[in-house]
Amino acid sequence: MTALKTMHWIRIFGITSTLVFSATLVQPQESSWLSADNSALDTAELLRKDYHGPSSHTLQITDGAFVSAYQDVVRILEGKNDCSDFFGGPEVLEAFDHLGALLRKTYIDKNVGIRMSGEYVIFQRAGSSLRYRVFERAELNGRGPFFGQNSLGKPRAFGIGTFSSNTREARALMLLHELGHMIETSPGHWLLADDGNNDWKSKENSQIVEKHCAEVIRAKR
CA distances from 3 to 18, 102, 131, 189 (A): 25, 16, 10, 18
Mind listing the pLDDT tens digit for each residue in 65-78?
999 999 999 999 99
pLDDT of res. 166: 87
**Cα 62 to Cα 47: distance, rounded to the nearest angstrom:** 15
At 146, the amino acid letter reads F
pLDDT for residue 30 is more than 90: no
pLDDT of res. 35: 26
Angle, CA of 17, 19 and 21, to the nearest 5°: 165
Q: What is the largest CA-CA distance in the chain?
A: 51
pLDDT of res. 55: 46
The better pLDDT of the pair 33, 170 is held by 170
Q: Exposed, middle or buried by CB within 10 Å (0-12, 13-18, 19+), for 50?
A: middle
pLDDT for residue 130 is more than 70: yes
What percent of the chain is predicted at pLDDT more than 70? 69
The better pLDDT of the pair 34, 117 is held by 117
> H helices within the chain, ranges in order?
64-78, 82-87, 93-102, 168-182, 199-218
